[in-house]
Chain A
Amino acid sequence: MRDLSAARQGPYVAASPLVRPLSPMTRLLLRGGADARAAALAALGLPFTDTACRAVCASGRAGLWLGPDERLLLAPQSQLMELSERLSAALAGRAHSLVDVTHRQCALEVSGPQAGVLLNCGCPLDLDPSAFPVGMCTRTVLAKAEIVLWRTGEHSFHLEVWRSFAAYVSKVLAQAARELTA
């Protein structure tokens, strides 16, 4: 097997007070019909919901709505093999696509009272809690990069960024943070 130790160290992320890289985690991208989605979420111990742009999470795992038939499943890094086996069993016989995208993305957390203002430097969504409540998640854009944005708390956001964009996104945020804290 190819040595992934270099990859495990994570991509370069520019330092800034409001942004920190999150530890590596397991990421699976699921596409399929309602039965496959329900079976997969149940296998992960997550409640099923088809509400658009909402994440469900329980015991360190999360299922993020990305599209009507698409879910991004997040879990602690050590659970990849266990969850893969459990999902294969749960999804057997159901039309679906399940892709391991663990190393495609890395996660950043933007937190602090000005987190929303900071993200609005490059993201045009309305991030007021009334329009983007806790638990809402969506694919969107930040400056020139595509990200998945998930509000995990009133003042904290989880960003899923493709690895090759991580340096760019974190630099954009670091620059904007300088302006906010100046």
Chain B
Amino acid sequence: MLLINCPYCGERPELEFVHGGQAHIARPGSPAECSDQQWADYLYRRDNIKGVHAERWRHTHGCGRFFNALRDTTSDQFLATYKIGEQPPVPAQAQPRKATA
């Protein structure tokens, strides 16, 4: 079974976790000043990365906390996990990258 390293609890089996979508998406400071396009981008548009992806995960059946993870979408390997609010660590093997437009 795939083990995910919860920053609070340590390595736990995958089925205690739920995926929470792409990480590091900041809500616009003043939504009223956003154009419809900007707001729609914030709500719906997500990267579809082949490679290292920064994602939110939640340890639902454990400590209940959200945290962030760097996962390689091609191999399903977790390169790092870190707490919400922390900067993503740079894994030795790979750099996080944005999807090309």
A interface residues, Cβ below 8 angstroms from B: 52-53, 66-68, 70, 124-125, 138-141, 146
Min CB gap B36→A, angstroms: 38
Q: With contacts A139-B62, A141-B61 known, is A68 near B8, CB below 8 A?
A: yes
Contact B9 A138 (CB under 8 A): yes
Decide yes or no whether B89 CB sits under 8 A from chain A.
no
13 pairs, A vs B, C-beta closer than 8 Å: A52-B8, A52-B9, A52-B10, A52-B63, A53-B9, A53-B10, A67-B8, A68-B65, A70-B63, A124-B1, A140-B62, A141-B16, A146-B61
Min CB gap B9→A, angstroms: 6
Those 9 A-B pairs whose CB atoms lie nearest each other, nearest first = A67-B63, A124-B13, A67-B64, A141-B61, A146-B61, A139-B62, A52-B8, A68-B8, A124-B1
Interface of A, secondary structure class, is strand
Q: Produce 1/0 per residue, B1-26, CB < 8 A to A.
A: 10000001110110110000000000
Min CB gap B81→A, angstroms: 14
Q: Roughly how many angstroms separate A52 CA and B5 CA in the complex, as a whole number?
A: 13
Q: With contacts A52-B8, A68-B8 known, is A125 near B13, CB below 8 A?
A: yes
